[in-house]
Homo-oligomer: A and B are copies of this chain.
Amino acid sequence: MEFRYLSPHIPRAPLSGPLGVYGRAVEVERKLLVPDPPDLDGIDADEIEQGYLAIGADGEVRLRRKGEKLMLTAKRGSGISRDEAEIELDRESFERLWPLTEGRRLRKRRHVIPHGNLTIELDVYEGELEGLVVAEVEFASEDEARAFEPPGWIGEEVTGDERYLNETLATKGRPS
């Protein structure tokens, strides 16, 4: 299988956010499908549940529970250029906002898999999205991203493919 650094879905190199509010963090990230996941027994995993309070043409606000941690994340912009800011919420605030995400939620288990110097985050979706498994890898530079030698169970690259954005999956379900 050939891995192209430049996905067919994005016109430019995937230099993606988050851009820190008080500074700009530049990351290179790739997203890849995993049609046939490896054995995940014994691999660290977090249960993630997230829902969207609002999804606009230029901005979205997400609630996420990751284990015991409750977060609200705002993103601005789209595609590979996004501003992002995140705050932690107490339980009462989270529970007050959560009902407004109804019908725009997803659940997944995130497994953190070491791979050489890199870390692969393997998201195993649950509920209505069961069967979908997506790997994300962050790189310190474009060179590092280019040099990435994926494990054998990695499949099609979907970096920049809007159908695989979490907000799309949460509202429209799995791409057919």
A residues in contact (CB < 8 Å) with B: 21, 52-57, 59-61, 72, 74-76, 83, 85-89, 92-93, 96-97, 99-100
Once the chains bind, are B53 and A55 in contact (CB under 8 Å)? no
Once the chains bind, are A59 and B21 in contact (CB under 8 Å)? no
Determine how close the nearest CB of chain B comes to the CB of A167; give it in whole angstroms: 10
Once the chains bind, are B96 and A87 in contact (CB under 8 Å)? yes
Q: Which residues of B contact A52 (CB under 8 A)?
A: 59
- Complex Cα gap A87–B21 (Å): 22
Once the chains bind, are A100 and B83 in contact (CB under 8 Å)? yes
Nearest B residue to A90, CB-CB: B87
Q: Which residues of B contact A55 (CB under 8 A)?
A: 54, 56, 59
- Complex Cα gap A76–B52 (Å): 11
Nearest B residue to A95, CB-CB: B21
13 contacts between A and B (CB under 8 A): A21-B99, A21-B100, A54-B55, A54-B59, A61-B61, A72-B72, A72-B97, A74-B97, A74-B100, A75-B100, A85-B99, A87-B92, A87-B93
- Complex Cα gap A60–B52 (Å): 10
Nearest B residue to A103, CB-CB: B58
